[in-house]
Structure 1
């Protein structure tokens, strides 16, 4: 009879251990699912926040720390899908009376004058997108195109940045 009580106690303890293990696993999985579902979905072509961005040779957009960065394909001035959504915070600031600055950048490959002109065209494309969203010339400042290598890649250098001026 003594051994049957021990067996019953061991089974009960084992049942409690399994229940605790299952509870921990379910909690971890539930928390992971919550974190995944709680993140707002970025519009197509927009990377919401990233510490390191790998830009392919194509149009894309990154929004980080109040700066909207538009990347462009080689020789092109076409905006990536999602420009309107990416500019939402900038447009809200402009609507509240602040000004925005648009800076064009280009890589160092090819003819410098042609690159500067392409960077200007890209900046004008972004400006026109802002005008289409309701901005006026009074609140948008275009800055002279600059040559840059960004973090070392030409694809990252082909960009236009939009910031809110202090």
Structure 2
């Protein structure tokens, strides 16, 4: 009987040791991966406070992330402002209206912001100068057309 208890304790000890090893590996790997992604933080969605009024607002069609017709001239304004104030960054925030589901709306707002970011980088803005911010409230106001926008600040 004593030998069975000793064997059971040994097996349980090994099992808990393996579990602890796996948990430690997962935690260590997540810390390592997070540390690797720290260099890419400016292009990721961040919690950066907005400063001042947006330089430009781009308005999108419902459920769409394709850049509006006036995007090129709005992007040019941002590029010019960043050339004037080269020490600053471009901060992009995407919004949506209340139509559709919350998860879909969040993805559409993000896709719109990414489209604007890609246009800015394509126009010569260094990718490390562009930050995307997840707005605290993604709903853009009472007017649906006004709500479907991306705001761009140089700050």
Q: What stretches of structure 2 of length at least 5 have no aligned partner? A: 1-52
Equivalent residue for 1:80, pick from 45, 68, 72: 68
Q: Is 1:107 matched with 2:97?
A: yes
SS at match of 2:151: strand
- Larger RCO (CA under 8 A, 6+ residues apart): 2
Q: Over residues 21-57 of structure 1, what are the superposed CA-to-partner deviations in whole Å (9 max), with x where a residue is unaligned?
A: xxxxxxxxxxxxxxxxxxxxxxxxxxxxxxxxxxxxx
Residues 82/109 of structure 1: CA separation in 2 closer, same or farther (3 Å cut): closer
Return the TM-score normalized by structure 2. Answer: 0.59
* RMSD of equivalent CA atoms: 1.7
Look up the match of 1:147. 138
Does structure 1 retain, via aligned residues, the 8 Å contact 2:140–2:149?
A: no
The Cα offsets for residues 84-115 of structure 1, whole Å up to 9 and x where unpaired, read as: 22222311232341211000011122210110
| Residue from 84, 88, 94 that aligns with 2:82 | 94
**1:121 matched residue in structure 2:** 111
Are the structure 2 counterparts of residues 80 and 149 from structure 1 closer, same or farther at C-alpha, using a change threshold of 3 Å?
closer
Within a 5 Å distance, the mapping from 1:1-166 to structure 2 comes to: 67-95=55-83, 96-97=85-86, 98-145=88-135, 146-150=137-141, 152-165=142-155
Q: 3-state SS of the aligned residue for 2:99?
A: coil
Q: Deviations over 1:57-78 (max 9, x none)?
A: xxxxxxxx76210111111111
Q: Is the 8 A contact 1:108 1:147 kept in 2?
A: no
CA–CA distance in 2 between the matches of 1:72 and 1:133?
20
- In our comparison, the structure showing a higher alpha carbon Rg is 1
Counterpart contact for 2:58–2:74, Cα < 8 Å = no
Measured in 1, the distance between the counterparts of 2:115 and 2:123 equals 13
- Report deviation, 1:79: 1.1
TM-score normalized by the length of structure 1: 0.55
